[in-house]
Amino acid sequence: RDLSGDSATQGGLFEAMDGPTGEGQRATDHLLTRATASGKKVADIAEALLVEAGFEVVKAGVARRDLGLQFPFLVSDAAMGRQWYVDVAGAFTNARPGMRRIDVLWRTLGRAHVLANGHAGDDLRDRPRLLILTPRLPKKGAEGDRALRAAGGTGFFDVLEMFDDEALVRLRHYAGTSPDRPSAGFWTEEDIEARFA
């Protein structure tokens, strides 16, 4: 049981929402409220999503001592066994969840930048891939959204909102196919052509 007296299971957090709140923003808000009430840590939910999508968790709490970085997860995809770093940005809060907090956004971008620069001399296909999972993305067109998009391509592969059905489809696609370019979602087709050529 959660704090409100309702029964909550971790698996129940990932079910599609077309229940009491409808779809879209209100459904996501409802899921964030349920996640907060369940007492689950955002990293635990992220790990369950990764496994459900088809990734294998190689290591939790991976440190890149050579770069002074830590990431919550190192995973491998099912298609090629390619390794992906996973950052989990932000927490479940009612006020400003996930990357809606500007300090969370800038810390995440800083880690992405250091990882990318640490491998700047590597062949593009050999560079480590970084997926960012977050309870909530910055609002489209806001300063945080613009900064996040400016860092993409070499900074990170994709950023996925944890309770967005389309983002979870992309996550499953990455685990199952190990693509060289992200799928449209956070990135537009134009972004992908320009940044991931």
CATH number at residue 150: 3.40.1350
Residue type, 66: D
Q: Where are the beta strands (DSSP E) in 56-192?
A: 56-64, 69-76, 83-88, 129-134, 158-161
Asked if the structure places residue 81 within a domain, the reply is yes
Residue type, 105: L
Domain that holds residue 65: 41-195
pLDDT digit string (tens) for 17-49? 333 334 555 555 555 555 555 556 889 999 999
Asked if the structure places residue 129 within a domain, the reply is yes
Asked if the structure places residue 17 within a domain, the reply is no
Asked if the structure places residue 31 within a domain, the reply is no
Could you give the number of structural domains in the chain? 1
List the structure tokens of 135.
Answer: 């309870």
Residue-level pLDDT at 178: 94
Asked if the structure places residue 72 within a domain, the reply is yes
Residue-level pLDDT at 38: 57
Asked if the structure places residue 155 within a domain, the reply is yes
Q: How far apart are CA 139 and CA 146, in angstroms?
A: 10
pTM value is: 0.81
